[in-house]
Amino acid sequence: MAYLTETLTKAATKAAAVSVLALGLSAAPGLNGGDAHAAGKGVGVIDHDFAHEGAFGAFDPAQLRRGWQIYAEVCSSCHSLNYLSYRNLGEPGGPEFSEEDVKAIAAQFEVQTIDSEGEPIFRPAVPSDKMVAPYPNDEVAKLSNGGALPPDLSLMTKARTGYFGIWKQLAEGMGGPEYVYSLMLGYTDEPPEGFEVGDLYYNRYYPGHRIAMGRQLWEDFEYLDGTVGTVEQQAEDITAFLTWTAEPKMVERKQAGIRNLLFLTLFAVLLWYSNKKLWSSVKKPS
Amino acid sequence: MSGGHIPQEHHEPTSEAGKWLDNRLPVGGLLAHLNSFPTPKNLNWLWVFGGILAVCLVIQIATGVVLAMHYTPHVDHAFASVEHIMRDVNGGWWLRYSHAVGASFFFIAVYIHIFRGIFYGSYKEPREILWIIGVLIYLLMMATAFMGYVLPWGQMSFWGATVITQLFSAIPLVGDNILIWLQGGFAIDNAALNRFFALHYLLPFAIAGLVVLHIWALHHVGNNNPAGVPVRNDSVETAKKDTVPFTPYYTVKDLFAIIVFLIIFAMFVFYAPNYLGHADNYIEANPLVTPAHIVPEWYFLPFYAILRSIPDKLMGVVAMFAAIGVLALLPWLDTSRTRSGAYRPLFQRFFALFFVACLGLGYVGAKSPDDIIIGSVSHEKFSTEEEATAFMTQLLADDPGATVAMAQKIDFDANKVYYDVAETHLAFRYIHLGQLLTLYYFAFFLVILPALGLIERSKALPETIEDHFNAKMAKKKGVSAGATSDGGDKPSAVPAE
């Protein structure tokens, strides 16, 4: 339970409002009144350092491959990656699986199509296919998960906010990956004394602390590359992988940024001196 | 077609081909006029934002047209088509991030441009039409930005569109009919998405047309300047003492400013592309799930704060639109005979407050109205809900008007739940701050500006732009000459009359 003690000491907030029963509260005028009571922000997330952070940060392909393994063996039984194709797994800047590996991964899945006579058939997936979702539709997904819909994970790290405040977000980013990482480590054996979760599970970092998904990461996960499968390692790897799925072009973007900023800065310096020289004759006292 | 108030040398085509064209379509003359346009030589760095805004519009139209080639305006495909752009279109992520961040930077530039205009009295005679065209451009920008934000069809797109279109239902009698007409149905759905896309493509060209009028009016009346005194226009020679030709002096200066602006823009596009947006918009629109917080884009927040600070829905909507409309009346609300705020000491203080009020309104717009800014709140902790309820009932029995709230909280150190009863004795909430700032916003335009012109004594103005420019240069030189000179910061920057 080492990760839990880390979790507890690192968390910024000691207590979070769970539910608010307001009596006699001053009327909330305006159209959007009442937001104040939404305990949507949860508690401060764990600030974990990822390889992709910073202007020069890049994904570690080996880590993304481990993340894919966790997704494939754990998450994919309930969660889809609808916006990805199998070919993405072999593209530069990603997990960079070999062409053969990508073909082999795709071939494990079946996609529905129709044959030349119009009959519905299944064929093995190829790299250009979109990743096959675990459920054919949302209704089946809900039925299989006690009424809760397991969200698509393609954009998860961009669709959640872990950091709040304009300066914090400017300096550290929106904290989406940190939120996912924290959520993975936010399960405890028992909910806090007196906290009712019903059919749900307690998670320290989930807004409201009652989550439909149970704890998924356990000690001694067997990585194909021999990495020791601690819970923290798995949380970091799956988070890195989902950060890549949310933005496969992130490394390309950051590298383009350096080139663009260098060019623009040089151009600005030249223009500054041109402007100075140009105006010097006008500014000369007559 | 030079015309205008500032005398300018007439363009005579020299080549035969030039003369031939000039007799049929004087486009060469127009370009020569634009290039050599006499521009006051004392403009400061706040005057670069017009050029920056032109670049912003070009960036938005150029990236937007290409994005539209890959985007699908249909509720079932819009969100996926945006992800297709981000993942599979060559350079698609760059196009989309530039367009999204570009919208924010467009507003940053326009806000500085507007504040500059207000401070230096750029709306005053003879620039009223120039100013009103500007207000119309700003209005169209807001409409365009709002509809553009709906197109990715994320949660905030959908719910933002729902909240904003609902505002029109506040109109008496015909509100509901107007709402249905706007949405193309009973809710925000495919019809709304389609018309928003069509209008989002159309309006930027309407903006471009207004920009042409804005520049036309500008070239007719000439630039305002920090001194606020007009260019001497009795002859080309005297006009030349106050001005420099736009090219090369301001083309190079503006270009430098544009590149610096693009550097900051690039920092966001490449390193914080989602900072100015909302995480919720990466969740596909779902009419059945309301996000915890529906917050408009940052550039709408001051108006959102004004809307929420009025308890009545209709009056809130009226106040919000009035906050924009009052800008158009500015030329007649400001009664001062002095144009430039640089020579109006009292105005400067009220203007500074106005600037802070606008920032404050933006801040309030991002906050929950009922959150407490300053307050006296006493907390009591209880381990069971029964005890907490009993305590709260007792409090209310003692004082039926008391403001009490109970919340279940978790003590993470003890891994235990407790119940917190908070009694608010006195609270100054964001809604109250918003109301104060809204009051000041309107008072600034409707009371302070008209009154100031009657009571304020302005400082002495420089006689000419040339004087102002030379005094500025002399002051600069004095400062750089350092301690040996005694004329460092003498108030002689403004020669007394």
Averaged pLDDT, B125-144: 97
Q: Are A166 and A186 contacting, i.e. CB atoms less than 8 angstroms apart?
A: no
Residue A149: name the closest of A75, A79, A52 by CA: A79
Start-end of H helices in B184-235:
190-221
Q: Specify the pairing of strand A201-202 against strand A210-211.
A: antiparallel
Q: Report CB contact under 8 Å: B256, A26.
A: no
B196 φ, ψ (degrees, to nearest 5): -65, -40
A-chain residues within 8 Å CB-CB of B382? Answer: none
Q: A72 touching B, CB under 8 A?
A: no
Mean residue pLDDT of chain A comes to 86
Per-position DSSP letters for B264-321, written without gaps between them: HHHHHHHH-TTTTS-GGGGSB--TT---S-----GGGHHHHHHHHHSSSHHHHHHHHH
* Best to test chain B binding among A206, A271, A280 (most B CBs inside 10 Å): A271
Q: Give ∠ CA A111-A115-A118 in degrees, rounded to 5.
A: 115
Q: Specify the pairing of strand B416-429 against strand B372-382.
A: antiparallel
pLDDT in tens, A58-106: 999 999 999 999 999 999 999 999 999 999 999 999 999 999 999 999 9
Q: Report CB contact under 8 Å: B369, A256.
A: no
Nearest residue, CB atoms, B404 vs list A19, A23, A33: A23
Q: A195 touching B, CB under 8 A?
A: yes
Q: What is the pLDDT of residue B255?
A: 98
Q: Report CB contact under 8 Å: B282, A261.
A: no
B-chain residues within 8 Å CB-CB of A20? Answer: 405-407
Scan for tokens 């996960």, then name that residue. A221
CA distance A209 to A191: 9
Averaged pLDDT, B447-455: 95
Q: Which residue of A has its CA nearest to B415?
A: A192
Q: Are B36 and B2 contacting, i.e. CB atoms less than 8 angstroms apart?
A: no
CA distances from A183 to A57, A203, A210, A228, B322 (A): 23, 7, 12, 21, 46
Query: Please, which pLDDT band fits residue A286 given cuts at 50, 70 and 90?
Result: low
CA distance B264 to B215: 26
A-chain residues within 8 Å CB-CB of B408? Answer: 17-19, 195
Q: What is the pLDDT of residue A116?
A: 92
Q: What is the pLDDT of residue B59?
A: 98
Q: Which residue of A has its CA nearest to B429?
A: A26
Nearest-CA distance A281 → chain B (Å): 11
**Lowest mean pLDDT segment, chosen from B73-82, B134-143, B293-302:** B293-302
How many CA within 13 A on the CB side of residue B270? 22
Nearest residue, CB atoms, B409 vs list A18, A253, A261: A18
Q: Report CB contact under 8 Å: B283, A155.
A: yes
B-chain residues within 8 Å CB-CB of A281? Answer: none
What residues does B382 pair with on adjacent strands?
B419
Q: Is the pLDDT of residue A28 over 60?
A: no
**Window 91-150 of A, Cβ < 8 Å to B:** none
Mean residue pLDDT of chain B comes to 92
Helix (H) or strand (E) holding B226: none
Q: Cα B146 vs. chain centroid, distance in angstroms?
A: 13
Start-end of H helices in B379-482:
385-398, 430-443, 449-455, 465-481
Q: Report CB contact under 8 Å: A256, B270.
A: yes
Q: Give ∠ CA B266-A159-B160 in degrees, rounded to 5.
A: 85
Q: What is the pLDDT of residue A33?
A: 29
Q: Report CB contact under 8 Å: B293, A38.
A: yes
ipTM for this model: 0.89
Nearest residue, CB atoms, A285 vs list B244, B311, B470: B470
CA distance A210 to A197: 6
Q: Is the pLDDT of residue A254 over 70?
A: yes
What residues does B407 pair with on adjacent strands?
A20, B420
Q: Give ∠ CA B207-B211-B215 in degrees, rounded to 5.
A: 175
Length of chain B: 497
Q: Report CB contact under 8 Å: B409, A22.
A: no
Q: Is the pLDDT of residue B488 over 80?
A: no
pTM score: 0.90
CA distance B433 to A177: 35
Q: What is the pLDDT of residue B375?
A: 85
Q: Is the pLDDT of residue B188 over 70?
A: yes
Scan for tokens 């900023």, then name that residue. A261
Nearest residue, CB atoms, A169 vs list B275, B316, B407: B275
Q: Is the pLDDT of residue A24 over 80?
A: no
Q: Report CB contact under 8 Å: A17, B41.
A: no
Helix (H) or strand (E) holding B406: strand B403-411
- Burial class from Cβ neighbours inside 10 Å (0-12, 13-18, 19+) for residue A134 reads middle
Q: What is the pLDDT of residue B403?
A: 87
CA distance A185 to B133: 56
Give the list of residues 6+ apart from residue A37 with CB closer than 8 angstroms, or none. A20, A22, B370
In angstroms and rounded to an integer, the radius of gyration of the C-alpha atoms of chain B is 28
**Lowest mean pLDDT segment, chosen from A6-10, A115-119, B362-366:** A6-10
Judged by phi (left if over 0) then psi (alpha if -120 to 50, else beta), residue A175 lies in: left
Query: Please, which pLDDT band fits residue B481 given cuts at 50, 70 and 90?
Result: low
Averaged pLDDT, B43-59: 98
* Token digits of residue B168: 């029109």
Q: Is the pLDDT of residue B346 over 60?
A: yes
Length of chain A: 286
Judged by phi (left if over 0) then psi (alpha if -120 to 50, else beta), residue B40 lies in: beta
How many CA within 13 A on the CB side of residue A81? 23
Nearest-CA distance A255 → chain B (Å): 9
- Burial class from Cβ neighbours inside 10 Å (0-12, 13-18, 19+) for residue A91 reads middle
Nearest-CA distance A230 → chain B (Å): 24
pLDDT in tens, A148-187: 999 999 999 999 999 998 899 999 999 999 999 999 999 9
Q: Are A280 and B473 contacting, i.e. CB atoms less than 8 angstroms apart?
A: no
First-to-last CA distance in chain B?
A: 37
Q: Is the pLDDT of residue A30 over 70?
A: no
Q: Which residue of A has its CA nearest to B369?
A: A33
Helices B92-119/B345-366 angle, 10° precision:
150
Q: Are B276 and B43 contacting, i.e. CB atoms less than 8 angstroms apart?
A: no
Q: A178 touching B, CB under 8 A?
A: no
CA distance B339 to A187: 65
* Best to test chain A binding among B267, B270, B317, B424 (most A CBs inside 10 Å): B270
* Best to test chain A binding among B55, B87, B242, B249 (most A CBs inside 10 Å): B87
In angstroms and rounded to an integer, the radius of gyration of the C-alpha atoms of chain A is 24
Q: A20 touching B, CB under 8 A?
A: yes
Q: Of all residues in chain B, what percent carry a pLDDT higher than 70?
A: 95
Q: What is the pLDDT of residue A36?
A: 29
Query: Please, which pLDDT band fits residue A12 given cuts at 50, 70 and 90?
Result: very low
Q: Are A18 and B410 contacting, i.e. CB atoms less than 8 angstroms apart?
A: yes
* Token digits of residue B437: 């700032």
How many CA within 13 A on the CB side of residue B25? 2
Q: Is the pLDDT of residue B54 over 60?
A: yes
CA distance A253 to A256: 5
Give the list of residues 6+ apart from residue A46 with CB closer than 8 angstroms, or none. A6, A7, A10, A11, A178, A181, A182, A185, A205
Q: Are A248 and A93 contacting, i.e. CB atoms less than 8 angstroms apart?
A: yes
3-class secondary structure per residue, A3-55 = HHHHHHHHCCCCCCEEEEEEECCCCCCCCCCCHHHCCCCCCCCCCCCCCCCCC
Secondary structure class of A161 (helix, strand, coil): coil
Q: Of all residues in chain A, what percent carry a pLDDT higher than 90?
A: 79
Q: What is the pLDDT of residue A44?
A: 86
Averaged pLDDT, B281-298: 93
Q: Which residue of B has its CA nearest to A266?
A: B259
Q: Is the pLDDT of residue B35 over 60?
A: yes
Scan for tokens 């709140």, then name that residue. B377
CA distance A52 to A67: 14
CA distance A93 to A154: 16
pLDDT in tens, B73-96: 999 999 999 999 999 999 999 999
Give the list of residues 6+ apart from residue B143 with CB closer than 8 angstroms, or none. B199, B203
Q: Report CB contact under 8 Å: B263, A268.
A: yes
* Token digits of residue B184: 């193309």
A-chain residues within 8 Å CB-CB of B407? Answer: 17-21
Helix (H) or strand (E) holding A110: strand A110-114
How many CA within 13 A on the CB side of residue A231? 19
**Lowest mean pLDDT segment, chosen from A39-48, A73-82, B166-175:** A39-48
Q: Report CB contact under 8 Å: A31, B370.
A: no
Q: What is the pLDDT of residue B475?
A: 87
Scan for tokens 């539209």, then name that residue. B68
Nearest-CA distance A171 → chain B (Å): 9
Nearest residue, CB atoms, B473 vs list A34, A43, A283: A283
Strongest mean pLDDT among A6-10, B52-56, B403-407, B484-488: B52-56
CA distance B281 to A286: 59
Give the list of residues 6+ apart from residue A208 with CB closer than 8 angstroms, or none. A18, A19, A39, A40, A42
* Token digits of residue A223: 């990585």
CA distance B138 to B324: 9
Q: Of all residues in chain B, what percent carry a pLDDT higher than 90?
A: 80
A-chain residues within 8 Å CB-CB of B417? Answer: 18, 192-195
Q: Is the pLDDT of residue B4 over 70?
A: no
A-chain residues within 8 Å CB-CB of B93? Answer: 247, 249, 252-253
CA distance B222 to B8: 11
Scan for tokens 């439909």, then name that residue. A212
Per-position DSSP letters for B66-85, written without gaps between them: HHHHH---STTTHHHHHHHH
Q: Are B393 and A21 contacting, i.e. CB atoms less than 8 angstroms apart?
A: no
Q: What is the pLDDT of residue B480?
A: 62
Q: Is the pLDDT of residue A20 over 80?
A: no
